[in-house]
Chain A
């Protein structure tokens, strides 16, 4: 990024330093001069100048100018408090209130309302309007989550611009004209978007309110508590609105380096589950008997201690400190090396270290300035929604060129310059081809590679799902794209678990301890499963994971957990997995937990307790430290600060980071003095990857064009008879599957059902129409689904969602690439 020139201007007699091209309004704010405004919001892109509230006097220009749309110039002299400006400010406030109902006493926004604040600060102080105001039916449902009160609306354009320029769904429009104008959707259809809640944050009046918060509290009843949302790897910064120790609302807490000030609806509306009846609120024994912490720890310590050396651990939703303590228990107290934090294993420590090289790492904000973006093996809309918005922004505002290379069509396809589809399980092969194509070879990946070759700064947003072997290949692709050479280029992972990076760095992987220090390899997730089945392991600790729902091959996991002699589980909610536990401990939610997490780009962030813990829930660090002590290993952890210190002392590249460094915005360890302590990748290269993720035997087949797809579809040997009646199965995680829609009543309407996505060609061949009920069979397993014909799905391939109750695609998986038979059960009613 080229450095922009600094300019000096004078606002109300103060000297203000600004950046050339900056809007006057922003320069004034940074120079501590407040100019009132409604429509302007830099996050929304170019100004519209609609509200006219920010008019200022600029010497040399006869008419007042809107400061939101006037770029600063060197030597500019600006006045914001002259009689002329005051008159204009009074006038605009008066105009905005001509049709505003002034129903502040019954309005949810009252007390935190920009219109209220600006009216009292810059308005005339009295009203001259005695005429009838405009009327609308109110409030009405803009969507099941957002209510709209059109009488309160001051037509500032913010929500409409959000819909058009940020989420790019263009559903919100201004209808009618003049003072009859109102915000609505085509044909009054509900506003459906996974980001819709943002419009309630940016509405400067009480026109858009959340149904989840209407009449729940007034600003003087509440406290705001900043934390980090850990519902997905985006780790957006949030602020919890807390009343009487309960979370009543979640709002965005702008952090340009993480979320750009936006939140997805999952993070925003997924808080009522904190008090769901399904919450585990105290330690329990098998069968549901509630016990005290002391008794539970004693029983767990006895059960685990008796199986010293024969216990494994799998960690999912946990903080860095919790992960660190679990590996302390495993390695220190139980003398085991079988620990993992990845649902299907992953690359060896050598590859992890290569990926951790700061030169290869892209940070989130790099997306904004990228010349080209490659989205590889993931659909950010489902896996890290806020990055979907970030990528759209880079294309819209910075002209970034996008390449999408995935198995399944993504939400970003529409903005992509090139799209490549590879068959499920063929990521390794495809990435290899792409690497060759970037280096000049002609192959299936050439069209996509051409956009990226010599493109300048390339940011690769990739999904952990591509698998271990593909991750090794990815490092080579990144090098071919020159990511190590350009500042602002690099790889950015979207892992499966929220805190995947932090857990790996805390040592929750089989072949490295804290600080990614290579160790003799233990078992990875799927090997742990097999060892439990085979009786090579006797016990397992499960922290924040639900393998029976979320991991592939449900039958094998059931067998493994049944075979395990002793299971200790930590879970937020009662799940099928939790029911298998001999001792079950509760987990805190991100509104209750105190601890750190590490963003996929290396940013340590702090999750702070905002709400009270329901029932008898104790902090995770405390339970784990006490459990370790009870087994006979003293971790020295007696509080969250000591847990944090234990963590940072164990990880050399975290060593210099203090709680104050993390503060409210986090700190990337790569940007601290400890960064140089990262072990070098060559020292530990060669650690084997988990065999479950090795490329399948058919990896040499082409994977991109439809022709190749067809060849593969008919050429591969398959267990189901009649190759042309079977389809290669790909699975994905739906953004709305899981507790988020099952345990949050306001989101229940979004609960997904199982759909079999297939190409128009295959649907035609199988005489299946969208809406038909089908049975999908693999081996002995089968599930029912509704057919959904989806353009851009390659021929020969179909997709099912994971984790759908009663029809879980994970039950069809067996650790290898599978093919499924599809049978029509009934046709969609005409």
Chain B
């Protein structure tokens, strides 16, 4: 049973495995009724308006208004595309996996309706290669939807067409960046493109393209069915709706929880996720995936979990993925682990990211080996500053922001680890305690 603090909208009925089938989706949550209505009775502008009014913000990381993004696509007869970004690769994020696994038809229906808003005739789901079984689930769902006439030519006899293709990525984090995703989809090396032109103007194969995250698109059917006011009953003024939050790290019940945005962070971590393991305390959290600047427990716990509150605290809600670091975690090691990830995943196209991630890793390695001095911490901070705002895409900033925050907020610990490592003391405090794991929706 869902926890009482959860608000199950996207995950409604997720306990029932039949939801993944077309018939189950129809029976359990009344699926595809909105698609039928939208395709038969609604014009592009009507769908677009309902999305704009809802205030739905992108769930992939940037939090940009979905309706507004769709409205940027030019009108006209040129080929237009919709891409669903299912390349969920951010460390800490695993909500799209669950949404696709348990309710693939919700996504298919969302894509079909969003395509109407964007005027797109061809849609793609770009799913990360590692999500193999989820891609199988999507393949099956898409086949069912074609069979039922919800996709393909002349959908439901309305003279409206939509082709939907599931494309499996080859496993590069950078392909979650929207323009790199487009290049990868076109069969090229997955490198980010210069913006402008933005994908809404010149995207896939040079055509106007709407790119949205899985969770964003999964919200579309219900918003179009029930209207903006219904959607705005949850969340805050600036962060309307519910959000599936992935919680991982040092908590008793890591997993996905769907909440009304604005829930106090303390309740999210202590009530839903069960708080830290016995005998431990929370030291810091990444509030929105590994690219968000870390917040100390003191900073984070009393904040409402919303886009605006996290931004106000100098961090971000991002994809809504909370990673909890308890008091056994060495922050310098966590910084190094984070930097290594981004160094490994940097595409190498622009200099600040390519060289900045590599240099930061080398410096942090010296820190944890005890071969650094406090002056190196200043250089690390300065290098993060030099990366931020100077890169071609946000990957460089994704490392610079959390690393800079860690050095700033935990400088004492960095100096201590450096000094202890120089003396041969292992900075890890590993507490071996049994972990009670309960997935949210299982």
Contacts and interface: CB of A to CB of B under 8 A. Distances in A.
A132 interface: yes
A7 interface: no
Interface string A157-189: 100000000000000001011111100000000
A100 to B, nearest CB: 9
Contacts of A131: 359, 362-363, 366
A94 interface: yes
Interface string B332-364: 000000000001111111111011111100110
B392 A52 contact: yes
A95 B189 contact: no
B348 A69 contact: no
A692 interface: no
B389 interface: yes
Given A96-B351, A178-B346, A91 B386 contact: yes
A178 B348 CA distance: 4
Residue of B345, B351, B352, B390 contacting most chain A CB atoms (<10 Å): B351
B348 A96 contact: no
A66 B389 CA distance: 11
Contacts of B349: 48, 50, 155, 157
B390 A64 contact: yes
Most buried by A among B345, B346, B352, B379: B352
A177 B189 CA distance: 10
A686 to B, nearest CB: 55
A511 B366 CA distance: 84
B351 A132 contact: no
A577 B352 CA distance: 62
A602 B349 CA distance: 44
Contacts of A69: 194
A87 B390 CA distance: 10
A773 B241 CA distance: 77
Given A50-B349, A69-B194, A95-B352, A178 B344 contact: yes
Interface in A113-146: 128-129, 131-132
Interface in A304-338: none
B348 A174 contact: yes
B391 interface: yes
Nearest to B378: A128
A177 B347 contact: yes
A50 B355 CA distance: 12
B249 to A, nearest CB: 26
B343 A49 contact: no
Given A49-B392, A64-B389, A99 B348 contact: no
Contacts of A179: 343, 346, 348, 354-355, 357-358
Interface size bracket, B side: 20 to 34
Interface centre among A53, A154, A174, A178 (most CB of B within 10 A): A178
Interface in B359-386: 359, 362-363, 366, 379, 386
A157 to B, nearest CB: 8
Nearest to A94: B386
Interface in B93-119: none
Contacts of B387: 91
B346 to A, nearest CB: 4
A99 B189 contact: no
B354 A181 contact: yes
A52 to B, nearest CB: 5
A492 B358 CA distance: 53
B29 to A, nearest CB: 42
Contact of B386 (A95, A155, A178): A95
A154 B390 CA distance: 17
Contacts of B345: 177-178
Contacts of B358: 98-99, 178-179
Most buried by A among B189, B350, B356: B350
A768 interface: no
A98 B189 contact: no
Contacts of A448: none
A180 B344 CA distance: 9
A95 B357 contact: no
A569 interface: no
Contacts, number: 91
A48 B194 contact: yes
B342 to A, nearest CB: 9
B356 A95 contact: yes
Contacts of B343: 178-179
A55 B351 CA distance: 12
B386 A50 contact: no
Contact of B352 (A47, A91, A132, A178): A91
Contacts of B386: 87-88, 90-91, 94-95
A181 B348 contact: yes
Interface string A57-73: 00000011010010000
Given A51-B350, A52-B352, A179-B348, A98 B359 contact: yes
A63 B391 CA distance: 11
B351 A52 contact: yes
Contacts of A207: none
A55 B387 CA distance: 13
From B172, B343, B357, B362, residue with most partner A Cβ within 10 Å: B362
Contacts of B172: 177
B78 to A, nearest CB: 16
Nearest to A63: B389
Contacts of A92: 351-352, 390
Contacts of A98: 355, 358-359
A87 B387 CA distance: 11
A178 B347 contact: yes
B338 to A, nearest CB: 15
A49 B389 contact: no
A94 B366 CA distance: 19
A154 B351 contact: yes
A87 to B, nearest CB: 7
A119 to B, nearest CB: 13
A50 B357 contact: no
Nearest to A68: B194
A180 B348 contact: yes
A131 B391 CA distance: 22
Interface string B290-333: 00000000000000000000000000000000000000000000
A90 B382 CA distance: 12
Contacts of B354: 95, 155, 178-179, 181
Interface string A176-219: 11111100000000000000000000000000000000000000
Q: Quick one: which of B344, B363, B366, B390 has the most chain A CB within 10 A?
A: B390
Given A52-B390, A179-B355, A128 B348 contact: no
Given A91-B386, A132-B362, A178-B344, A52 B350 contact: yes
Contact of A51 (B189, B351, B356): B351
A178 B357 contact: yes
Contacts of B391: 52
24 contacts: A49-B350, A50-B351, A52-B352, A52-B390, A53-B351, A55-B390, A63-B389, A66-B194, A91-B352, A91-B386, A91-B387, A92-B352, A95-B351, A98-B358, A131-B362, A132-B362, A174-B348, A176-B348, A177-B345, A178-B344, A178-B354, A178-B358, A179-B346, A179-B355
Given A50-B392, A98-B355, A131-B359, 12 more contacts: A49-B350, A52-B391, A55-B390, A90-B386, A91-B387, A92-B351, A99-B355, A155-B348, A177-B346, A178-B345, A179-B355, A179-B358
6 A-B pairs closest in CB distance:
A91-B386, A181-B348, A131-B362, A95-B355, A178-B346, A179-B358
Interface of B: 172, 189, 194, 343-352, 354-359, 362-363, 366, 379, 386-387, 389-392
